[in-house]
Amino acid sequence: MLKALSIVPDKCTGCMQCELACSYEHEGVFNPARSRIRVFHFHDEARYVPYTCTQCAEAWCQLACPVEAIQINPHTGAKEVIENLCVGCKVCTIACPFGTVNYNQATGKVIKCDLCGGDPACARYCPTGAITYVDADLTAYERMRMWAARTDTQAQASA
């Protein structure tokens, strides 16, 4: 059974623990700029939204890679960058419609979420539960349930 990251923006406080955990897990440093997850801050609404690679079924980054450096991990299903194959051309960064494949200046290679081999540090260290690692089939169900709850709440407020 494959698992996926489930992100609930309403639970995010903007603590950036996920960014720090990710950069330490992969780079050995606490440096959000070297993280594979980002927390976007909507200043006008005072909201925070974590975002990272969604591990698309038809991954454009993988299809665009001219040297086939992005491969599927059979254990996790994650589309992972094989560092020794990556030539740093950045074509995958352009192909990703979500902007979640990034260039690492220090290594000259691209980086993206690899689900930490099946134990994502971002989820493990998220203090509010805004990021969890769940059965992949539940992520869509959970999203539908949230929208249904919002619709129900809005209907009651206008009644």
The predicted-structure confidence for 84-115, as pLDDT tens digits, reads as follows: 999 999 999 999 999 999 999 999 999 999 99
Residue type, 119: D
* Cβ contact 142:129 at 8 Å: no
Q: Tell me the C-alpha to C-alpha distance, in Å, between residue 105 and each of 34, 86, 118, 140, 159.
A: 9, 13, 26, 35, 54
Q: Tell me the C-alpha to C-alpha distance, in Å, between residue 57 and each of 35, 54, 68, 78, 144.
A: 23, 9, 16, 10, 19
Residue range 3-158 in CATH 3.40.1160.10:
no
Q: DSSP class of residue 44?
A: G
Predicted model pTM: 0.83
